[in-house]
Structure 1
Amino acid sequence: MTRRPDPVPAEIAVITVNYGTAALALEAVESVLAADHGGRGIEVHLVDNASPDDDAQAIRAAAGQRGWGDRVHLYFEEENHGFARGNNLVFRALEQRDTPPDKVFLLNPDARLGNEAMERLADYLDEHPQTATVGARISMPGGRAVTSAFRFPGMISVLAETANFGPISRLFERYVVPLRPEQPTGPVDWVSGAAVMFRFAPIREAGFFDPDYFLYFEEVDLQWRLARAGWGSALVAEAHVIHEEGAATRIRSDESRTARPDYWYNSHRIFLRTTLGRSRAALTAAAMLPAAWMNHLHSAVRGRTVHLPADFIRDHCRVVLKPLLLGERSEPPGRIGGAGGHG
């Protein structure tokens, strides 16, 4: 990691964690540097998570060619830390300062500001002192809005989503995790980690991201812990971010049959265990099997594609259910790809 002296205190520190998407990460940083942010002082931290190929060289070259200077702090890691630990290493550096930033804004490497989003997010935090987390409205480059605000998952919502059966989904509609893409500004349970702003003091008190997560569910976990501590989350629909979903992770929300990597299942298991306790998490994971079989059955009867990732039952049993039943903790994620941001 490249160490630099403490800069002049900035109100907002922006963090982008890159893995294999250098060209997009450079655009993300440029979108931040080009904005005014309502006159707020900002600084940018760009972490390269041991990317393959020549990402590190491309970032170094661009920093010099574009004259970033001290406006952008560069971190060139020798290990792929994943999203949680990649952001944590910047959080830890910030907390060592005499005057840490008041706010941090996490921006995916495959995302960019669509307007003065950071100003609008910061304004909301300033006007709502009990809110610790705010997220932006997110759209694809073509303009299609995607869900960026959610309810916390629970046993009922997990089983209903796995079954994906109309009568069950309608019966438990109020437990459905994704809110509508056109969700208006206001309090929600949690917001997407692709473009999220936190107050720094509450997340420092919460211990930042749980380092057991490699990628996925870590932002849900942190906002769940903040909620338990009395802090709120909100969507700010006036703040707009453009997200090329899947560029960093190769996983898109509209491609339900895409196989999930082991780290997705690892993260799901950790989240279930954290929020439900091991016994209820194991019960939920076991109950997901008949729900998945129901999904396969009614999809076959109606001639429709199963709305589950490929090899879901096998991978869920191997990476989620078995370790919960045996009381095993998560395995170290190791040096694996796809950890530059959220899908």
Structure 2
Amino acid sequence: MSEPTVLTILLNFRTPDLTLKSAEAALAAMEGMAGEIVIVDNDSGDGSFARLTAEAAGRGWTRNDRLRVVASDRNGGFGAGMNFGMRQGLSDGRTPDFYYLLNSDAFPEAGTIRILRDFLAATPSAGMAGSYVHGTDGTPHHTAFRFPSVAGEFEGAVRTGLFTRLLRNAVVALPIPEGATRVDWTAGASLMLRSEMIRQIGGFDETFFLYYEETDLCLRASRAGWATWYVPESRIAHLGSASTGMKAWRRTPGYWFDSRRYYFTKNHGRAYAAAATLARVSGQMLWGLRRRLQNKPQADPDHFLRDLIVHAFGAPPPRAATVSPVSATLVEDSK
């Protein structure tokens, strides 16, 4: 039996230096494995594609089909860029057995990719597997989650121990598992997908520009009978939000609110989406009162509550069809 193949996909948007560093780590992690790496420049418009192409060739990475650099003609966000990468397939035209998605600001350890591949190969019911993620300073990142819910929205906004204890089964961020654990969803910074699952359910829903796209994919997979696993033996270092600038947000961008609203509406209906927003608004208001009474520091970007309400009940974002990244054909009209 031949060794399962992996196509590692690195998405670049105006971070060529980080992307090259990530590609170097991915090449080392792919050493001796069947498969290739493809770097997708997500229409950066800043010379990234030319820089990455020249550097990859100059470093000898493109020899023997080890790595390719390709350019998307539009910046449709994370999901669209990863769909484009999956459509590239292997250089000989074959579809790989697995796709490994890697952020441009994430650096896999030597065994990271192999561990995820071997776990999926040994677990037929698993459609996806994600890694233990830590900062470059070693700080653990929470990347194992429950699906968002009305109760989870309230708990996350109110930030009060009493409610967290009462709603402990709805808290979205799980305690970091010490061993391989089935979870609702995990972050896309280091995520391996079974191509059979992608052929069945389609790729990322490209309505999501950024945020909630991997949550939606994991939910669709779960509803189709595929499990998502968190595998902490697989490890990456992650800077976090290098392309989006999330850590430095003074104000949350509209696409975050649009993605949140679309996720709830698409997957649970308008009434549930409204209830989730009301729960979050209620939690935010209680937290705001507690902040004033106890002189606690600001925990959200400026105007977060107002922006949440405006985006929750304003015009919905444009909707896109879910497309199979394997064949680029329509899989479902889920909108």
Q: 2:149 aligns with which of 145, 150, 154?
A: 154
C-alpha spacing 1:180/1:35, structure 2 compared with 1 (3 Å)? same
Cα distance in 1 for partners of 2:281, 2:29 equals 48
Cα distance in 2 for partners of 1:58, 1:319 equals 38
- 1:314-342 CA-to-partner distances (Å, cap 9, x unmatched) read 2112222333xxxx34478xxxxxxxxxx
**Aligned-pair distance for 1:123?**
1.2
Matched ranges for 1:1-343 at <5 A: 11-36=5-30, 39-69=32-62, 70-94=65-89, 99-252=94-247, 258-323=250-315, 328-330=316-318
**Aligned-pair distance for 1:124?**
0.8
| Structure 2 contact 7–90 (Cα < 8 Å) conserved | no
| Structure 2 contact 43–74 (Cα < 8 Å) conserved | yes
**Aligned-pair distance for 1:121?**
0.6
SS for the counterpart of 1:13 is strand
C-alpha spacing 1:265/1:330, structure 2 compared with 1 (3 Å)? farther
C-alpha spacing 1:150/1:183, structure 2 compared with 1 (3 Å)? farther
Cα distance in 2 for partners of 1:183, 1:303 equals 36
The sequence identity of aligned pairs, in percent, is 31
| Structure 1 contact 11–40 (Cα < 8 Å) conserved | yes
> What letter corresponds to residue 22 of structure 1 in structure 2?
P
- 1:221-257 CA-to-partner distances (Å, cap 9, x unmatched) read 00101001111111111111110112222113xx7x7
**Aligned-pair distance for 1:68?**
1.9
Cα distance in 2 for partners of 1:122, 1:10 equals 8
TM-score by length of 2: 0.88
Cα distance in 1 for partners of 2:171, 2:28 equals 38
**Aligned-pair distance for 1:288?**
2.3
SS for the counterpart of 2:137 is coil
Cα distance in 1 for partners of 2:233, 2:319 equals 40
> What letter corresponds to residue 60 of structure 1 in structure 2?
T
> What letter corresponds to residue 288 of structure 2 in structure 1?
H
**Aligned-pair distance for 1:98?**
6.1
**Aligned-pair distance for 1:258?**
4.4
Cα distance in 2 for partners of 1:42, 1:95 equals 7
Cα distance in 2 for partners of 1:40, 1:312 equals 46
C-alpha spacing 1:92/1:64, structure 2 compared with 1 (3 Å)? closer
Misfit runs of 4+, over 4 Å: 95-98
**Aligned-pair distance for 1:271?**
0.8
> What letter corresponds to residue 114 of structure 1 in structure 2?
E
> What letter corresponds to residue 16 of structure 2 in structure 1?
A
| Structure 2 contact 9–86 (Cα < 8 Å) conserved | no
Cα distance in 2 for partners of 1:33, 1:274 equals 38
C-alpha spacing 1:61/1:113, structure 2 compared with 1 (3 Å)? same
SS for the counterpart of 1:309 is coil
Cα distance in 2 for partners of 1:92, 1:187 equals 28
> What letter corresponds to residue 260 of structure 2 in structure 1?
H
- 1:248-271 CA-to-partner distances (Å, cap 9, x unmatched) read 22113xx7x742211111111111
Alignment size in residue pairs: 317
Provide the alpha-carbon RMSD of the alignment: 2.3
SS for the counterpart of 2:53 is helix
SS for the counterpart of 2:26 is helix
> What letter corresponds to residue 234 of structure 2 in structure 1?
A
